[in-house]
Amino acid sequence: MGLLRFFRVKRKSKVADKKTVLDAEIQPGFGARKFRWTEIEAFTKNFSTVVGSGGFSNVYLARTAPGIPAAVKILGASERLNRMFRQELDILLQLRHRNIVTFLGYCDERDEGALVFEYVSNGSLQEKLHNRPAAVVKTAVPVLPWKIRLAIAFQLAQAIEYLHEKCSLQIVHGDIKSSNILLDERFNCKLCDFGSAKMGFSSAIANPSSSSSSPSSPFRTKQWMMGSPGYTDPQYLRTGIASKKNDIYSFGVVVLELITGKVAFCSEKGLILTSILPPEVRDGEGIKPSAVAELVDPRLRGEFDSNEAGALLSIAAACLAQPPAPRPVIGGVLQMMTEKIGNVSDGLWAGKRGSKLLDVGRW
């Protein structure tokens, strides 16, 4: 859930004083509510069911007063965690997109911060691709179909476009990976976990020795974040400078996961998924259909379109380009997807009148 971030730790007694100042900086948006702690306790039945955990937080299953299923993220009590809570809250209050998990509200009455989200019932993309239970594997239940994988890639790109280009203060997510992509009952993508996110970024790569503005400016490009093994842009690891290009790289890794069905990083072998890209793909050249077939998830048993897979591979390669300057902006990624994969948006299951829904009942 949370990843290691480096903060200067001060005495816990100062948290309340800092909170008073920070309250003035945060204004609820898009209908998010400010809850009382007693409500949080009631929603979670005194924190009885843990559905996720990380280095700095736990996530609990909840049910709000109208009976709506929810997930409540509780961050621990310290000044650094309060800062993290306030930073994440400030970003969440800016967001409203169908492919980003819906933020319902928060509670900041205590040193522990609480963030309340919609509960997304179908697990994560990581679980669907890599953690299928043994009991399921033994049955005839198929793996995630190719058309659904295409739709997830397209929806994820739309979520990133919203963050990068359509928010008033442009946002870098900072930790795009398959475990942070939740799926609803119709396999719609819901990007989550904004604990590493930052606001006010350029699409360019800043020089490590320079800053685009003063340290207090929300539009600085020089920001410090941590990432996840296999997903983190090598340029960021070398320089410590974050930009939109980092999210583009991580998106490319997720697309490669969707194509191959392989994990982004194998800790046992120390292998990263990006190393399997053939040289001709990395160089922007075409790839033979036979080579495409070798890369596509064998569990699909050939049930995929070779042209679509080849196009998606070329898009992933563009997003993974080194050095990062040639990487496309996310709007360019969406344009390539719609041009190279004609019906890529047909797999969206928004329930619109006349829309064509995929049969996902078997999954």
Q: What averages of pLDDT result for each successive group of 10 residues across the chain (363 residues)?
A: 36 41 45 94 97 87 92 88 90 96 95 95 94 52 87 98 94 95 96 90 46 37 63 89 93 98 87 84 73 93 94 94 94 96 68 44 48
In percent, how much of the chain has pLDDT > 90? 56
The domain limits of the chain are 18-118, 125-347
Residues 6+ apart with CB under 8 A from 353: none
Count H helices and E strands in the chain, helices first: 12, 12
pLDDT number for residue 221? 42
CA 277 vs. chain centroid, Å, equals 23
pLDDT number for residue 269? 78
Catalytic residue among 90, 108, 111, 175: 175
pLDDT number for residue 31? 78
pLDDT number for residue 327? 96
pLDDT number for residue 35? 96
Collapsing DSSP states into helix, strand and coil, what is residue 1?
coil
Q: Does the annotation place 128 within a ligand binding site? A: no
Residues 6+ apart with CB under 8 A from 189: 99, 125, 151, 152, 155, 156, 159, 181, 182, 183
Homologous superfamily (CATH) for 125-347: Transferase(Phosphotransferase) domain 1 (1.10.510.10)
Q: Is 175 a catalytic residue?
A: yes
Cis peptide bond prior to 323, omega within 30° of 0:
yes
CA 15 vs. chain centroid, Å, equals 29
Homologous superfamily (CATH) for 18-118: Phosphorylase Kinase; domain 1 (3.30.200.20)
Residue in 151, 145, 280 with CA at minimum distance from that of residue 292: 280
pLDDT number for residue 225? 53
pLDDT number for residue 284? 62
Q: What is the pLDDT of residues 85-127, one digit of tens each?
A: 999 999 999 999 999 999 999 999 998 999 999 999 999 999 9
> Model-level pTM greater than 0.85?
no
Query: 227 is written with which tokens?
Result: 């990432």
pLDDT number for residue 226? 62
CB 335, CB 114: distance < 8 Å: no
